[in-house]
Amino acid sequence: MPQWIGWFLLLNLTTACIAYLFLYPRRNLIGFHLGMNIAMAAGGGLALGTGVILINLFPLHFIEVIISTALLGMVAGGLFGALFDYQSVLTGYINGLMMGIMSPMVGAAASEGPMFILFIELFILSCYVLLLTSAYRS
Amino acid sequence: MVFLLIFITFINITVTGWGYFSLYQRRYLFSERFGFTVTYLASTSCSFVIALNLFLLFPQHFEVVSTFTLFLGIVVGALFGSMVNMQSFIAGIFNGGVGGIMGSMLGAVALDPSLCGLPADLWAEQDMMLFMALLSLSIQLLSACMLTLTNRL
């Protein structure tokens, strides 16, 4: 596996930070239904991308990768849900936790080449773009 | 190490039952959306944790344990979901089944890492059992804390 896939990690985190900073001033305009879906998609997508990349970069450190990805998914889902209300926090938390535990296994099973990671990145970035568009139009 | 695993399984089942009864007493106060959220969180985390523990306790009977944990997850989800209405009942059945399947999948990968293309001597069995037991305990306690915080807010 080539080492340049580590840059996608930085891209994911930057996109999540930009999305959070974009959503923060308009959090009162967004209803609870869209808020719940934003928490689920943002936390789960960030945990999925991070787990798939990290297990390909460090294939021998399974325990550390599982712990860090589950923590990242929980914190990201909780933060995106905390923009809206407490039930969004709960939904984002459990979805980020599930995605964070499952994604290192998916990444380890699909470690053939960088094509899978490219498509995962495309999927996550298009998810974020859709999310920001729907938040902009609401 | 097996005694620790049995002890932690007992703690997890006790926490699940305690969460069910403490939510059951307030079930008339729930709105539809709150019922859906509580069912989603409780059924997923409880069935995941119980399936992981049971799979590590009985690694010889592969098919029986994975079928039984799927059935157990559906039962746990149906119990949590039947508190409010039909919508949360469906959500509980589906998410409980998914949690049961995911727990047995994590247990299978932990017992045999070469299933996922990882090296076979990734960890010793003692370390793996200790790590998975503590992981399941921390997930269950954190979820129970967040569930009981909903009563305060």
Residue B76 resides in a domain: yes
Residue B4 resides in a domain: no
User: Is A58 within 8 Å of chain B by CB?
Assistant: no
pLDDT at B127: 82
At A32, phi and psi to the nearest 5? -75, -25
Gap between the Cα atoms of A111 and B23, Å rounded = 43
pLDDT at B152: 65
DSSP B114: G
- Name the maximum alpha-carbon separation found in chain A: 45
pLDDT band at A109 (very low <50, low <70, confident <90, very high): confident
Residue B48 resides in a domain: yes
Q: Within 10 Å of residue B101's Cβ, how many Cβ atoms? A: 17
Residue B55 resides in a domain: yes
Residue B151 resides in a domain: no
pLDDT at B48: 93
Residue B138 resides in a domain: yes
Gap between the Cα atoms of A104 and A61, Å rounded = 11
State whether B106 and A105 contact (CB < 8 Å): yes
Give the containing element (helix H, strand E) for A63: helix A62-81
pLDDT at A14: 94
- Check pLDDT > 80 for residue B123: no
Mean pLDDT of A86-107: 91
* Token pair for B127: 């370390």
Which of B37, B106, B122 minimises the CB distance to A91? B37
- Check pLDDT > 70 for residue B39: yes
User: Is A111 within 8 Å of chain B by CB?
Assistant: yes
Average pLDDT of chain A, as a whole number: 90
- Check pLDDT > 90 for residue B94: yes
Residue B118 belongs to what domain range? 34-146
Q: Within 10 Å of residue A110's Cβ, how many Cβ atoms? A: 17
pLDDT band at B153 (very low <50, low <70, confident <90, very high): low
Residues of A in contact with B109 (CB under 8 A): 105
pLDDT band at B119 (very low <50, low <70, confident <90, very high): confident
The pLDDT tens digits for A11-56 are: 999 999 999 999 999 888 888 889 999 999 999 999 999 999 998 8
The pLDDT tens digits for B66-84 are: 899 999 999 999 999 998 8
At B119, phi and psi to the nearest 5? -65, 145
State whether B105 and A105 contact (CB < 8 Å): yes
Mean pLDDT of A84-90: 90
Gap between the Cα atoms of A110 and B115, Å rounded = 11
- Please name the residue of chain A whose CA is at the shortest distance from the CA of residue B101: A102
ipTM exceeding the 0.90 mark: no
Residue B108 resides in a domain: yes
State the total domains in chain B: 1
pLDDT at B16: 92
Instruction: Quote the percentage of chain A above a pLDDT of 90.
Output: 59
CA-CA-CA-CA dihedral for B9, B13, B15, B19, to nearest 10: 160
Helix (H, G, I), strand (E, B) or coil at A31: coil
pLDDT at B14: 94
